[in-house]
A and B are shown apart, each in its own frame.
Chain A
Amino acid sequence: MAVSRPQTQVPEALRWGIHNPNPPDPALALILEFGTPSVRQAVLTGLARLNLATAQAQVELWTGVQRAMGQARGG
């Protein structure tokens, strides 16, 4: 979007788009409000898959580290 447009003539301290102090709802909320049922489902399923994959990768990583270091359960 245009906010990333170069503003070379504007001093850095005065450039547009540093931060919105009152941002709207998160993007996901907006998708859930307006997306079609299939879009919503795809987004949520995608997130779940992504999270699952990330979680599995992390578990594999950490169990590996655990084994390597001979640690007991933490936390």
Chain B
Amino acid sequence: MPAFDGLIGEDFAAAGGRPRDTSRPIMLIGYQDEENLGLGYLSATLRRFGYRVLVYNFNAEREEILAAARRERPLVIGLSLIFQFYLTRFAELVRTLREGGVACHLTIGGHFPSLSWQPTLEMIPELDSVVRFEGEVTLLELADMLSTGGEWRGIAGLAWRDDAGGIVSAPLRPLIHDLDALPYPDRTQIERAFLGRRSTHILASRGCIRTCSFCSIHMFYRAAPGKVVRTRDPAHVADEIELLHERDHISLFLFQDDDFPVYGVKWQRWAGNFCDELHRRGLVGRILWKISCRADAVDEALFARMRDAGLYLVYMGLESGNDEGLETLNKRITVEQNLKAVATLKRLGIDFAFGFMLFEPATTFEMVRQDLDFLRAIVGDGCTAATFCRMVPYDGTPIKDELIRQGRFRGDVCNPYYDFLDPRLDKFCYELGDLLNVSGWVHGLESVSQQLNMAWSELAVMERLFPRLPGIAGYRKRLRAITKNSNALLFRVVDDISRAYTDGVPHGWTAPELRRSCHGFLDDFLRERDAFVVRNQKILLDALERDAAREPALAGN
């Protein structure tokens, strides 16, 4: 166990006056319905310094969490709040713990508590502190001070309630400069994704240099001192992938970087080096990976190289199909650039997914129609399933401040929304939302769009991680036709309903009718997919059997 290393630069326990006492565990509670790398990094860092760490899903039964806290008598309980609309539920959990007799130090971290630390401590008075911004080192120092009897008030990056009842914050701790000094994150949820292939999340960098008005991520990284965007050594990332592939047989790696390093000469070089490292380790052809980036970072030569090293899916926050909307969102990109990126990816044969805000504070009916034209242009061919959402004004974002200034912000921290400039848009948005919710088209894991996009990912796995499957080109063609039909009907419904508000013509669509259509798309897809899989089952099962022969048993899988 290192006394200290490049990560912390000093020995906090020694500063507390006594050796580090790791006899009591540290309990972390956060959103774990999907893999949470944030908790994984916290856990791994604490374990590196000898602490036993217990990670609990925030959505687990309260009884289970309370029982564990009483049984384990943790030194500190750290709560990770990554969705601000869960604030009330976190407050209830904290109250449950306190009223159930848990007296240990309770702290909380995450985007909302970091940016809105005072309201957090006011709304959850049972908390002892808030860990602001990147939490690995601050939480470690807090644990060391608590375990050695040192003074925890005043720890850099911590906010707390003082004796007079005031809420104070120590100076912020600089962002972690050297991400390679962090241990690999603990992974508790290695999942089987498609056809027995396992997937996991991974990070190559932290931070984002952009300034999108709706996003709190750049505010999160700019508020603390230090370099905003930090990348890991590409060889270090490839080492982690190699370890996970060899040890746990993971073959799908989903990068969760805020903005994967591909923009500009320096980061293009980084991405090229990363591809070289994958080739050097013989991982190409055995793994696939997905990234998120901006459209203006899609460079044809670089992405061809990345595709050849396993890149199969690119998520882009396109967000709007008109330049006015992109300006409101401060995307600092044009529709033309978005279209160019999509065309480049299609030419390269790389799948893409996208974020799209059909509704944002400046939306007009004319803009909705421009957005529909844009969506038809990019996915009208059925290359991926259409999806869209309404912008939510999160805490810490410039657009929320602007909405407050304009007197259009409504709701509260758990339920933030806003009035549109044209009141008819409120009704249109809610009517559309109701129809789409009921029909299961856009929203939810089992919605048509989500299922079809999963089908496209599964197809990439079939094409690139299995031997050649006869008839796969035909299956691709049929999947594209189904996606195309779903998209076309979705766009027609949105268009018709919008025109009912502007032209006064009843649209005639009903939720039951649309639900039937959605079931039809899913049935068509499953029929085609299952027939294809059954026809090729021998090849698929033989490949899985070969893998299983060298596969260790994974706990819980």
Residues of chain A having any CB pair with chain B under 8 Å: 1-3, 5, 7, 9-11, 13-14, 16-24, 26-37, 40-41, 44, 47-48, 51-52, 54-55, 58-59, 61-63, 66, 71, 73-75
Asked whether B88 lies within 8 Å of A44 as measured between CB atoms, the reply is yes
What is the CA–CA distance of A73 and B70 in the complex, to the nearest angstrom?
Answer: 8
Known: A2-B519, A13-B544, A75-B104. 16 other contacts (CB 8 A): A1-B447, A1-B519, A2-B522, A3-B451, A10-B530, A16-B529, A19-B191, A20-B450, A21-B252, A32-B417, A34-B443, A47-B89, A54-B62, A58-B66, A66-B101, A73-B101
B73 touches which one: A7, A23, A41, A74 (CB < 8 A)?
Answer: A74
Interface residues on B, range: 35 or more
Contacts of A30 in B (CB 8 A): 389, 437, 443-444
Q: Is the CB of A59 within 8 A of B99?
A: yes
Identify which of B140-148, B159-167, B532-540 touches chain A.
B532-540
Interface string of B47-71 (1 = CB under 8 A from A): 0000000000000001100100110
- CB-defined contacts of B432 to chain A, threshold 8 Å: 34
Task: Report the bound CA distance from A22 to B454 in whole Å.
Answer: 8
Chain B residues whose CB sits within 8 angstroms of the CB of A5 once the complex forms: 523, 526
Q: Which of B194-202, B206-214, B226-234 contacts A (4 or more CB under 8 A)?
A: B194-202
Any A CB within 8 A of the CB of B268: no
**Which residues of B have CB within 8 Å of A59?**
96, 99-100
* Minimum CB distance partner of A54 in chain B: B62
How many angstroms from the CA of A54 to the CA of B194 in the assembled complex?
37
- A-B pairs with the 3 shortest C-beta distances? A34-B433, A75-B102, A2-B522
Q: How many whole Å from B464's CB to the nearest CB in chain A?
A: 15
- B194 lies within 8 A of A21 (CB): yes
A55 CA to B34 CA, complexed, in Å: 25
Residues of B within 8 A of A51 (CB): 88-89, 92-93
Q: Which of A36, A54, A55 contacts B430 (CB 8 A)?
A: A36
Q: In the bound complex, do residue A18 and residue B450 qualify as a contact, i.e. CB atoms below 8 Å apart?
A: no
* Residue B222 CB within 8 A of the other chain: no
In the complex, how many angstroms separate the beta carbon of A70 from the nearest chain B beta carbon?
12
For residue B138, CB closer than 8 A to chain A, the reply is no
Contact A27 B443 (CB under 8 A): yes
State whether B99 touches A28 (Cβ < 8 A): no
Q: What is the number of contacts between chain A and chain B, taking CB atoms within 8 Å?
A: 181
Check if B45 is an interface residue, CB within 8 A of chain A. Answer: no
CA distance A32 to B533 in the complex (A): 38
Which B residues are in CB contact (< 8 Å) with A24?
A: 387, 443-445, 450
A62's partner among B100, B194, B353, B437 (CB-CB below 8 A) is B100
Q: Which of A18, A40, A55, A58 meets B192, CB within 8 Å?
A: A18
How many angstroms from the CA of A14 to the CA of B447 in the assembled complex? 21
Interface residues of B in 75-122 (CB under 8 A from A): 77, 83, 85-86, 88-89, 92-93, 95-97, 99-104
Does B403 make an interface contact (CB < 8 A)? no
Of B69, B390, B411, B537, which one neighbours A34 at CB under 8 angstroms? Answer: B390
Q: What separation, in Å, do the CA atoms of A26 and B85 have in the docked complex?
A: 11
- Verify A21–B92 contact, CB threshold 8 A: no
- A16 vs chain B, min Cβ distance (A): 6
Using Cβ atoms and an 8 Å threshold, which residues of chain A touch B445? 20, 23-24, 27
B434 interface residue (CB < 8 Å to A)? yes
In the complex, how many angstroms separate the beta carbon of A21 from the nearest chain B beta carbon?
A: 4
Contact string against A for B residues 448-466, beta-carbon threshold 8 Å, 1 for contact and 0 otherwise: 0011001001100000000
The smallest C-beta distance from B83 to any residue of chain A, in angstroms, reads: 7
The residue in A1, A11, A47 that gathers the most chain B C-beta atoms within 10 A of its C-beta is A1
| Chain B residues with CB below 8 A from A66, complex form | 101
In the complex where A34-B443, A40-B417 touch, is A47 in contact with B100 (Cβ < 8 A)? no
- 10 A-B residue pairs with CB within 8 Å: A2-B519, A7-B526, A14-B541, A23-B450, A24-B445, A29-B85, A34-B390, A40-B415, A63-B101, A74-B103
Q: Is the CB of A55 within 8 A of B95?
A: yes
Interface flag for B290 (CB, 8 Å): yes
Asked if A20 and B454 sit within 8 Å, CB to CB, the answer is yes
The answer to whether A74 touches B102, judged by C-beta atoms less than 8 angstroms apart, is yes
